[in-house]
Structures are given as C-alpha cells and as structure tokens.
Copies of this chain bind each other. A is one copy, B any other.
Amino acid sequence: MTVHEPVVPTDPAGGRPVVPSRSRLRPLGLGEIELGPGFWSTLQETNAAATLDHCEYWMEREGWLANFDRVAGGTTGRDRPGWCFSDSEVYKLLEALAWEYGRSGRGEVDDAVRRLTARVGRAQDADGYLNTCYGHAGQEPRYSDLETGHELYCTGHLLQAAVARLRTTGPDALVDIARRAADHVCATFGADGAPGLCGHPEIEVGLVELGRALGEERYVEQARIFLDRRGHRTLRQDRVPLGSAYFQDDVPIRRARAWRGHAVRALYLTAAAVDVAVECADRELLAAVEGQWEHTVARRTHVTGGMGSRHQDEGFGEDWELPADRAYCETCAGIASVMVSWRLYLATGDMRYADLVERTFFNVVATSPSADGRAFFYANPLHQRVAGEEARADALSPRAESGMRAPWFDVSCCPTNLARTLATWHTYAAVAEEHGLAVLQYAPARIRAELGDGRVMGVAVETGYPRGGAVLVRVTEAPAGAAALRLRVPAWAAGAELEEGGRRRPVRPGAVVVEREFAVGDQIRLFLPMGPRFTWPDPRIDAVRGCVAVERGPLVYCAEAVGQPDGTDLDEVRVDPSVPPDDRDGRVVVRGLAGTVRATAGAWPYGERAGRAQQDEGSDVELVLTPYHQWAERGPTAMRVWLPTTLGHG
C-alpha cells in the first residue's frame, strides 16, 4: 500500500463534470448539494459500495490493468489481452473514483485513485504518449489505425478522469499524466501536425474540459480543430465498412440535420460541439446542434429516451425507425445523451433538455444496473420476445443479446460509464442562476449555493418522488432582496399545481418561477400528477403502430411475462385503451383481453382478413406492470413496453 498525504476536497463549488467558462447557468458543485435517502441516493450508494470494486475486480481479472504494468515493464506485445480500447475503462473507473471521493470523502476511494494512477503513470512514454495497445515492441505503431484503434478515444477518457481529480482535490499525479498526454496530442495533431482524427470521438470533450479546468486554451483549440476536420470523409474509406456516417465523418457537424451512425460516437462528438460552441461563442454551431437535437428527439428516440435503433452498427436508424424488439438503446448512449442535453440546458436554459435528462436517467441509466450494482444491461430494448438466459457470473458476456444483466462484457463500456455518471448524479439536479436557484430533478436534497450575483441561497427539498408527486421546497438560507426559485414542471405533468402561501394554483409544463423576497422557512409545494397514463406514439412510428405504452410520472412501465396470470402470452394480449390504467397501492394495472389469437400453427401468416387469426375472442385479463427500469430483476422473462390495443385490426 502506498503511504500518502490524504487529499481532501477543498473547493465544494468546484466539483462537477461540466463547467462552461461562459454560461447562463452555473452547475452546482459536489459540495453544494447533498442528497437524502431516495431513488437516486440508493443508486449512488450501491455504486459506491459495490460497482466501483466490481469494476476494478474485473479489470484486474481480465488483465486490463496489468496491461499498464506490462508496458512499464517492457513485457507487453501481441498477446496483450482486451480490446484496443480497454485502457479507457481504467480511465473511466479513475474518473468515477475521483468523483466518488469528492462526493463521500472516503479515504479508501482516494487510495484507489492513487493506486491506479501510479500504475497508469508508469506506462506513459517520455514524450507523453500513453496507450497499452500501440507503439511498443511487438505492437502496431502509434496512430497506425486512427479509424478503429481508439488511441485518442482512450486519451479523452484519461483527460476526463484528470478533470474529475482537478475539480475535487486539485492537481495531482493523474493531472500531470493527463497534461503530458494532452500536450502530446496537440503536438501530434495540432494545426501544424498530422491531419488525423479518431474514429471514436471522445478526445474532443476531454480536451475542452481539461482546457477549462486548467485554463489552457490550446486544448480547447485542439478540440475545435478535431471537430472541424470531421465530416469531410477524412477517415480512410477502405477502413470504414460501415460507411463514413458510422463515424460522423460524412457531413460536417455544422451542416448535419440529425444524429446518425454509431450513437455513442455521435453523442460524444455532439457534447464536445456544444462545449466548443460555448467556449468560442459560436452561435451557428450551437444552433446546428439544437436543430439536430430537435430532429433526433422527435424522430429517432425511443419513449424511454433511449437512442440507437440498430444492432448492426449500434447506431441510429432513419426517421421513424424505432423497433421496440431490436431497440439498441445502449446504456452508454443514454449517458452520452444526458451529456449532450445537460450542456444544451446550461447553454440555453431550455427545460426541454432537462426533461430529456430526467426521462433518460430514469428509463435508461437506472435500467442498466442490477439492484446489487454488480450486473448491467449493455443494450436496453423495449421488447423481449423470448426470455433471456441468466448471464454467467464468471465469464465475459456478449454485449447485447442475452436479455439479462451481466457482470462484465467483452466490450464493457457501460459499468464504468454508469459508475462515473451515478457518482455525480446530484450535480444534474439543480443550477445556480444569476438571481436564484433552479431545481430540475426531484430528489430529497439540501442545496446551498452562491448565485450569479454573489448572494447565497439555500433550500431543502423533501419528496418521495418518483413514488409520489409532491415536492416540498423549503428555504434554509435566504438571500437579501428578491430572488427566484425556478422549479421544472415536466412536459408530461399536465395538471400540475403549485402551493405557495396557502394558495394552490395550476402550473403549466415547462417551469414555474417564484420570484420574490424569501425568508428562511418559506415553503413552496409542487404537486405533480402521478396517476398512470397511456402514452400514444406518433403514427409514423411503424414499429409500434396500434400500441400504447403506460407511464407514471417520469417512469415508463412494461409488462413482464413473469407474474402475470397463468398462460398469459404477451404476444396475444390486447389492452383496452378505454379503461385508464389503474394504480392499486403502487401497482400499475391495465385491463384487456388475453388469448386473442386463434391458433394458426403451420399456416401461412398472411391472407384475407376474414381468414386471419383475429383478436375477436379472448378472455378478460388484468396485467400488472413493472417499472421498466426494474425489468428482468425477477429473472429471465419476455417483456413489452408497447402493448397492442383492442382498437387494432388485422
């Protein structure tokens, strides 16, 4: 064990993943908001208690950590285990540990950061290059495969880890390593360097944030250079079997109409584009990204907020191509979507972005980890036709086909990505405005922050959300003079009400602002309607035509085959949309018909209407639904989010 001086978080306002140097809204630091017991604190504690160790265990076991030791010891070579991007998992774990130490201050978490940092640092070459897969004896040369080699991608995650350290404990060995790596990137790929580009965006977002955190404009400039290089079919055509759109190298980001290609790539790139747009006051670029968000959210996004419709390239489909059964909705794409929407919210204050952040947090991010934090969904389909198989506890799982959460994957990007995201969840819950606070995500919390005008404001939030819809905001520290308290009213919350000073009034989706002089003890209550509701799809979404989903508050629900009445075949259930879904002591129930399809075994499944298997029969059934984020927690099962209705024909 290393002996060291404990590093204590010194700047409570400094800790947060994104800190635009110019922005309408200031995100809160890790020390400015503390969660109380509830939905998200449970996930954070599980992350701290189980997931972080779990990730380190598997990376040690698979040799991904030892890859750094082997480079340091000069013993690496062609037999190096792991994919070329496995270094990035170590960096994401480092980032997660750094944020978690900032959140909890637990010494053993800091120990882990230092331990891993030391192993990583010894593998760095003298000129700053750091990668365990390329450039050493027996390996391919540095940057010999920019299309699929992921070297700059890995470096980007190293920079993000260093940013977490900088913003929680200040400069340390990890920051030094990252700075040398970033300098090497700028020297190699700068305006006067090689005109290269990484097949997987990530270096860009790492460079901007490290630039912000260190005040190094060179790094921001390098990110801008990478962004501008992309979209001109810069990557080698003979190495891109899935086409240039897969890499977002088909159209410059300023000219693209929608997100396309590999979803995580598209979204990491876009997050960096917002950062660069904000840093460079580039309104054209920001407007382009906002247009892409609108188009993609309206036409290429699943009801869970999940993005990515295709398994083949883990990518977006065309407009309206949103198959429930083959929805890919990669966990990492959900996290990347939060990264984009959060940056757009900070840049614009538009609550639509915070709405999508909430939807994605509850229905993609929270869906991936098991309750014990030691197994994960890589993909998050909205329809499982056949019950999956339990993943093996002691082996790597294929990434997207099992239908069950798995402990580790051949490509294992989601566990560490979840870990770093969950450790900072509370920093997405509220922001400081010029003259007040805005509360965006509802969870029990204590908030105390400096406003843009220098005054300090504190509130306590009490709520059982998302179980219940009542949110009490109590002022715990009142600034002198008028201030604003802005509460997000989710887009789904038609019928919401606000109670203030004994008066209760309806409020519209978007946000409600109470602007006045506050006193300690002042209370504002927001009531969000939490009855379950049917949700209908746009009629152009072919895959779910004639179906409804059920939502309750921010949660999407699903029907699992397990736990339904005996013999209920989810393929043959038809829900009656004229009977609203019911909430029975917290259990959401829908009514309909079961066994609606006459047996047609052996028959050609297409023909005259009269001769078709019809949904004209069937027996009454009540389905008990499950919050989608909990599906498959009771074991392998078939599952549907979208439920065909009795209105359908054919």
Which residues of A are interface residues toward B (Cβ below 8 A)?
A: 241, 243, 294-295, 297-299, 301, 303, 310-312, 317-321, 323-326, 355, 383, 385-386, 398, 401, 410, 491-492, 494, 533-549, 571-572, 577, 596-597, 600-609, 612-615, 642, 644-645, 647-650
- Residues of B near A537 (CB, < 8 A) are 605-606, 612, 650
Each complex incorporates copies of this chain amounting to: 2
In the bound assembly, the distance between CA atoms of A4 and B429 in angstroms comes to: 85
- Residues of B near A572 (CB, < 8 A) are 540
- Residues of B near A538 (CB, < 8 A) are 597, 600, 605-606, 612-613
Smallest beta-carbon distance A351→chain B, Å = 12
Question: Known contacts A243-B401, A326-B310; is A546 also within 8 Å of B606 by CB?
Answer: no
- Residues of B near A494 (CB, < 8 A) are 608
In the bound assembly, the distance between CA atoms of A325 and B312 in angstroms comes to: 14
- Residues of B near A243 (CB, < 8 A) are 398, 401
A648 x B539 contact (CB < 8 A): yes
Residue of B nearest to A571 (CB): B540
B321 x A326 contact (CB < 8 A): yes
Smallest beta-carbon distance A450→chain B, Å = 34
Main SS at interface, chain A:
loop
- Residues of B near A541 (CB, < 8 A) are 605
B298 x A539 contact (CB < 8 A): no
Smallest beta-carbon distance A294→chain B, Å = 4
In the bound assembly, the distance between CA atoms of A458 and B385 in angstroms comes to: 52
Which residue of the partner chain, among B319, B492, B602, B612, contacts A298 with CB atoms under 8 Å?
B602
Residue of B nearest to A615 (CB): B539
- Residues of B near A545 (CB, < 8 A) are 545-547, 644, 648, 650
B298 x A605 contact (CB < 8 A): yes
Smallest beta-carbon distance A500→chain B, Å = 27
- Residues of B near A535 (CB, < 8 A) are 606-608
- Residues of B near A410 (CB, < 8 A) are 241
In the bound assembly, the distance between CA atoms of A536 and B386 in angstroms comes to: 25
Question: Known contacts A297-B604, A385-B321; is A539 also within 8 Å of B311 by CB?
Answer: no
A543 x B546 contact (CB < 8 A): no
- Residues of B near A323 (CB, < 8 A) are 323, 326, 543
